[in-house]
C-alpha cells in the first residue's frame, strides 16, 4: 500500500471515529457547518479565496449557514480531508486536487503537463457550469462527493538547488518533491525520482539535501520561503492543479434550496474572485519576490521545450488509460476548447 493510500486509510479510521461522536450539521442538531483545510493563512494567494467562499456562503444563505473554519490541519490533515468529509467530520473541505486525483482520476485532466500552454484556457475550463466542471461532478457524485468550485493554479515549474534544468536529461537522477500522482509520473518520465512529502517538510528536506528540488507552482515556493534556498526555476507547464471546495453529494441534496443556492454562489465566488486574487498575487508579488531573491528563471523555447513535451507524453497516455479513453478525451477537449 502506498503512502497516500495508507495515510488515507488511517485518516478514514480517525475520521469515522470522530463522526460517530458528532452528527452532521443541520437545523435539528444545531451544529455549525464545519469547514476544513490543511492550508495555513500564510498561503496569501489561496487563503483569501477560501475566506471569500465562506463569507459568500454565510451571506447568501441568509444566516442559514453558520460556518466553523478549521485551517492549518487543525481538524483534518491533508491526507485526512477526503476521508473526514466522507465520514461527516467536516461538511465542506478545501483541498488541492493533487491529493485526491489518484482516487478520482477525472480531476487529473487539470493537472496534466502540457495539456495546454495557455493558462487562460485552464482557468476558463473549470468555471462552474461549464463542460469540465460538469464532467467532474458527473464522476464524483456517484462516489458521494460534489465539487462546488475551485481555483486553478498557475503552472507548476521545476525548481532546483544545485543546477538549472534546461533539457529533460538534466532531471535524470534528481530527487524531486511532488504533491500528487501525476506530478510523480512526470518526474519519472524525465528520469528523476519523485519524493512525496507535505509542503511544510520541503524547506528542511532541501536544506539537508535529501531532495534536489521540487515540482511546484509559485505559491508553495513563496508561502514556504523556498525562494531562500532554491536557485533555479524552469518555466513551463510541467503540471498544475486546482484548489477546490468539496462537500458530500448527499449532504448537498439534503440542504434546502436557499442553502444549495448559497453554496453554488460561494463556489462561483471562489472560482472568479479567488482565482483573480491568486493570479494577481503571483504576478505582482510572488514572481518579483522570487526573482528578487536571486532565483534564475530558465525559459526553454523551441526545440528545448519540444524535448520536454516529447519526454512527458507517456504521462497523458497512462492517465487516459486509467480514466478511460472516452472520458479522458472529453476532459482534454473541454480544456482545449475553453
For the residues 173-197, what does the mean pLDDT come to? 96
**Which residues sit opposite 244 in a β-bridge?**
95, 150
Helices 131-140 + 325-336 axis angle, to 10: 150
- How far apart (Å, rounded) are the C-alpha atoms in residues 160 and 26? 48
Bridge partners of residue 96, in order along the sequence: 243
Domains of the chain with CATH codes: 3-152+241-283 (3.40.190.170), 157-239+289-336 (3.40.190.170)
Instruction: Report the chain's mean pLDDT, rounded to a whole number.
Output: 92
> Rounded to a whole number, what is the distance in angstroms from the first to the last CA of the chain?
37
Nearest in space to 167 (alpha carbons), one of 294, 309, 297, 318:
309
Residue 12 pLDDT: 42
Portion of the chain with pLDDT greater than 90, in percent? 89
pLDDT tens-digit map of 24-74: 454 444 679 999 999 999 999 999 999 999 999 999 999 999 999 999 999
Is the pLDDT at 144 greater than 50, yes or no?
Answer: yes
E strand intervals along 133-289: 145-152, 157-160, 175-178, 193-196, 213-216, 232-234, 242-248
- Residue 87's Cβ-count burial label (10 Å; 0-12, 13-18, 19+) is buried
The C-alpha atoms of residue 314 and residue 125 are separated, in whole angstroms, by 23
pLDDT for position 25: 56
Model pLDDT, residue 30: 61
Q: Specify the DSSP element, H or E, that contains 297.
A: strand 296-298
Q: Helices 181-189 and 303-323: crossing angle, nearest 10°?
A: 130
Model pLDDT, residue 17 = 40
**Each residue's pLDDT tens digit, 226-248:** 999 999 999 999 999 999 999 99
Amino acid at each position: 500500500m502506498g503512502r497516500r493510500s495508507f495515510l488515507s486509510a488511517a485518516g478514514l479510521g480517525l475520521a469515522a471515529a470522530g463522526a460517530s461522536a458528532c452528527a452532521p450539521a443541520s437545523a435539528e442538531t444545531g451544529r455549525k457547518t464545519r469547514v476544513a483545510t490543511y492550508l495555513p493563512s500564510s498561503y496569501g494567494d489561496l487563503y483569501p479565496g477560501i475566506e471569500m467562499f465562506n463569507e459568500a456562503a454565510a451571506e447568501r444563505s441568509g444566516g442559514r449557514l453558520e460556518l466553523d473554519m478549521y485551517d492549518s490541519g487543525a481538524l483534518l490533515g491533508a491526507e485526512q480531508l477526503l476521508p473526514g468529509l466522507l465520514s461527516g467530520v467536516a461538511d465542506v473541505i478545501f483541498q488541492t486536487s493533487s491529493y485526491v486525483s489518484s482516487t478520482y482520476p477525472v480531476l487529473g485532466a487539470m493537472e496534466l503537463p502540457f495539456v495546454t500552454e495557455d493558462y487562460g484556457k485552464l482557468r476558463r475550463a473549470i468555471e462552474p457550469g461549464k463542460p469540465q466542471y460538469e464532467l467532474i461532478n458527473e464522476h464524483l457524485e456517484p462516489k458521494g462527493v460534489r465539487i462546488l468550485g475551485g481555483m486553478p493554479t498557475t503552472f507548476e515549474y521545476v525548481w532546483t538547488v544545485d543546477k538549472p534544468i534546461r533539457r529533460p536529461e538534466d532531471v535524470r537522477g534528481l530527487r524531486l518533491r511532488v504533491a500528487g500522482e501525476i506530478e510523480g509520473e512526470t518526474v519519472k518520465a524525465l528520469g528523476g525520482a519523485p519524493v512525496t512529502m507535505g509542503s511544510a517538510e520541503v524547506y528542511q528536506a532541501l536544506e539537508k539535501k535529501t531532495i534536489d528540488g521540487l515540482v511546484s507552482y509559485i505559491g508553495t515556493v513563496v508561502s514556504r520561503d523556498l525562494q531562500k534556498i532554491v536557485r533555479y526555476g524552469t518555466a513551463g507547464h510541467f503540471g498544475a492543479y486546482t484548489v477546490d471546495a468539496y462537500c458530500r453529494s448527499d449532504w448537498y441534496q439534503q440542504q434546502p434550496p436557499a442553502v444549495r443556492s448559497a453554496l453554488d454562489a460561494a463556489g462561483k465566488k471562489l472560482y472568479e474572485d479567488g482565482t483573480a486574487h491568486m493570479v494577481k498575487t503571483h504576478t505582482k508579488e510572488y514572481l518579483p519576490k522570487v526573482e528578487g531573491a536571486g532565483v534564475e528563471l530558465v525559459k526553454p523555447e523551441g526545440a528545448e521545450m519540444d524535448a520536454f513535451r516529447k519526454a512527458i507524453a507517456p504521462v497523458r497516455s497512462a492517465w487516459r488509460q486509467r480514466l478511460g479513453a472516452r472520458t479522458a478525451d472529453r476532459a482534454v477537449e473541454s480544456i482545449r476548447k475553453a
